[in-house]
Structures are given as structure tokens and as C-alpha cells.
């Protein structure tokens, strides 16, 4: 029977069905098993939180697949997996609707100052400072999408339904192929709201830093539901405190830990003390419906590989291991 390791909590229905594929060991909860305890037997890793390093892959002789629970795969060394004949898969598009809705949850919360309004109400300041809670409307404003893949392109029609003008930039799309395409600098200078939808790569790390904030419109807003490393967080905090940015919403942080316990402690503690910054704990894709879709997609990848078949959404193309 194949041994399957699950790093973090997943949808209960998916977990139950995963047991049909083999013996399931959990890396979380009261009976958590450390990876070192199962590395010699594990054939499949169902990776949500945590990291799978090159060293872990090299120390796992029977490992055949690392199935990412989500679209991003920066928490697994997929090149090392390739070298060791291990598939790495992801689940593109499975959490798309949930992330799109979270983009607007963050944006609308900023525009209507919902955290401040809630705090004032809880402190019984119902009508003492209502003018300070004056919001802004989305209609007529320009949304700049950095990245126009599955999620970015699907954010566009929702924004347009709010009456926003949409522009985007994406190096994978030819200039002129869409009337909304603009170059990166033009987007920064034009957009009232910049929303990020790019993977974390060497070319996108700190894509938005002090020079980029300087190019943005005074009073613009930033939304990041992609990866924390795409934004220089110290520069973001400075832009917020100076008033260059009116607000920012981040579902991801460069400093976030796998266990999500102490993301504010390093390297930019002021993230926790910046009132015009809304931070959520990497939950944009975390709805019941999304967790079910993403989980089943990852499960299907594991089932395929354990059955000797190629998975549907491979990140790499290894020569699979042969077991005789």
C-alpha cells in the first residue's frame, strides 16, 4: 500500500477519499508525524503548507509525486524533483473564483474603511467621527492588473461590472493584442488600484518596490493576492505611512511562516501597526467550495501517478522512477 503524506489540513471529504489510495499520514494535528519519520516509505506528498526541499526529495527514495494544493509551487524544489524522477503538480484555476472575490473583499474594505468603522463601532463611537469614515466609490476608477493569466483576466470583468476601467500588463501577451494592454510604467502611473497576479520567480521578486511606488499615482491602492515576495514590504509600509499609497490589502507576506504564527515579527514589524494596511493570513483561496475543488484536483494527480499515469497539471517533466 502506498504511503501518502499530507502536510497541512485539507478538506475533510478530500482527506477521506485520499485514504482510498493508500495509507495516509498527517504532518499536522495532535498525532502529527514528522517528514523524517516517513521519508524512506513515502510515495506521494500532498503539499499545502510547509516546504519540500531538495534535501528532503533526495532523502526519499520511493517518492513519486509532490502534489501542490494550489497554483503556486515556490514551496517545493521542482528542479530537484525533476532530477530525482519526481512529479510536481499544481492545481491551476481551481481556487480562481475564491481569489477573485477576495481581491474585491480587500479592495472594498479599503475603499469603505471597514476595519476602522468596525473598530469605532465596537468602541461605542457610533456617530462621533463619521466624516473620518468617508469612503470612495469604484465606479470611474482605473484598475491596473499586473499579470493577466487565469485569475488576473477573470478579475477584469468583475471590475468592469463595478464601472471600473481596466488596464493590464503581462510580458506573455503581445502589445496591441488587447486594447487594455499597457507597459508596466504606464500602468503604475495610470492606475488608481494596482492588483498583482504573478507567480514568485526570480524576475518578479520585489517587482513592486520603492521605485515603483514612486511612479504610482498619489493616493493609489495596492492589492496583493499573489505571493508576498513580489512586494518589498518595507517600501510598501513607507509608502503607506507617507500617504503616497492611500491603502493596501495583502493576503500574502514575504515574512509569513509555514505555520502562520509569527509573520509580523520579521523583517517588517510595522506591518502590524499600519492602519491603512489590511492583512489576511493567505486565505484568499480558502472557501469551502475552493478547498474541495483544489483538494480533488491534487488528489487526482496523486491517483494518476500512483497508477503509473502522467498527471493532468505537471509543473515539471521528470523521467518517472521505475520500481521493480
**Which residues are tagged catalytic?**
227, 256, 282
The one-character DSSP state at 128 is T
Q: Measured in whole angstroms, how far is the alpha carbon of residue 216 from the centre of its chain?
A: 23
Alpha-carbon span 29 to 190, nearest angstrom: 47
Q: At what angle do helices 96-111 and 150-161 cross, to 10 degrees?
A: 50
Q: Could you tell me which residues come within 8 angstroms of residue 205 by beta carbon, excluding any fewer than 6 positions away?
A: 229, 230
Q: Would strands 165-169 and 142-146 be described as parallel, antiparallel, or unpaired?
A: parallel
Question: CB neighbours (10 Å) of residue 35?
Answer: 18
Q: In this structure, are residues 160 and 141 in contact, taking their beta carbons and an 8 Å threshold?
A: no
Taking a C-beta distance cutoff of 8 angstroms, is the pair 271, 233 a contact?
yes
Amino acid at each position: 500500500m502506498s504511503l501518502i503524506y499530507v502536510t497541512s489540513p485539507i478538506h475533510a471529504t478530500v482527506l477521506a477519499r485520499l485514504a482510498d489510495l493508500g495509507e495516509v499520514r498527517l504532518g499536522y494535528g495532535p498525532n502529527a508525524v514528522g517528514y523524517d519519520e516517513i521519508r524512506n516509505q513515502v510515495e506521494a506528498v500532498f503539499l499545502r503548507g510547509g516546504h519540500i526541499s531538495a534535501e528532503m526529495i533526495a532523502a526519499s527514495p520511493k517518492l513519486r509525486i509532490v502534489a501542490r494544493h494550489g497554483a503556486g509551487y515556490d514551496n517545493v524544489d521542482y528542479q530537484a524533483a525533476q532530477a530525482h524522477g519526481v512529479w510536481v503538480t499544481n492545481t491551476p484555476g481551481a481556487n480562481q473564483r475564491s481569489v477573485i472575490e477576495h481581491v474585491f473583499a480587500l479592495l472594498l474594505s479599503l475603499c469603505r474603511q471597514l476595519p476602522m468603522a468596525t473598530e469605532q463601532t465596537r468602541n461605542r463611537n457610533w456617530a462621533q467621527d463619521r466624516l473620518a469614515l468617508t469612503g470612495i466609490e469604484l465606479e470611474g476608477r482605473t484598475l491596473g492588473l499586473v499579470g493577466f493569466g487565469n485569475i488576473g483576466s477573470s478579475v477584469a470583468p468583475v471590475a468592469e461590472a463595478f464601472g471600473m476601467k481596466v488596464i493590464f500588463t503581462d510580458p506573455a501577451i503581445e502589445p496591441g493584442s488587447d486594447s487594455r494592454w499597457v507597459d508596466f510604467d504606464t500602468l503604475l502611473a495610470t492606475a488608481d488600484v494596482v492588483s498583482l497576479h504573478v507567480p514568485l520567480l526570480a524576475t518578479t521578486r520585489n517587482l513592486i518596490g520603492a521605485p515603483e511606488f514612486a511612479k504610482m499615482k498619489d493616493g493609489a491602492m495596492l492589492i496583493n493576492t499573489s505571493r508576498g515576495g513580489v512586494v518589498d514590504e518595507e517600501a510598501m509600509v513607507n509608502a503607506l505611512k507617507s500617504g503616497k499609497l492611500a491603502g493596501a490589502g495583502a493576503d500574502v507576506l514575504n515574512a509569513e511562516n509555514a505555520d502562520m504564527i509569527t509573520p509580523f515579527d520579521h523583517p517588517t514589524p510595522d506591518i502590524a501597526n499600519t492602519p491603512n494596511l489590511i492583512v489576511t493570513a493567505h486565505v484568499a483561496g480558502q472557501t469551502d467550495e475552493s478547498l474541495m475543488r483544489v483538494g480533488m484536483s491534487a488528489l487526482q494527480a496523486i491517483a494518476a501517478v500512483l497508477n503509473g499515469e502522467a498527471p493532468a497539471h505537471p509543473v515539471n517533466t521528470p523521467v518517472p522512477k521505475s520500481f521493480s
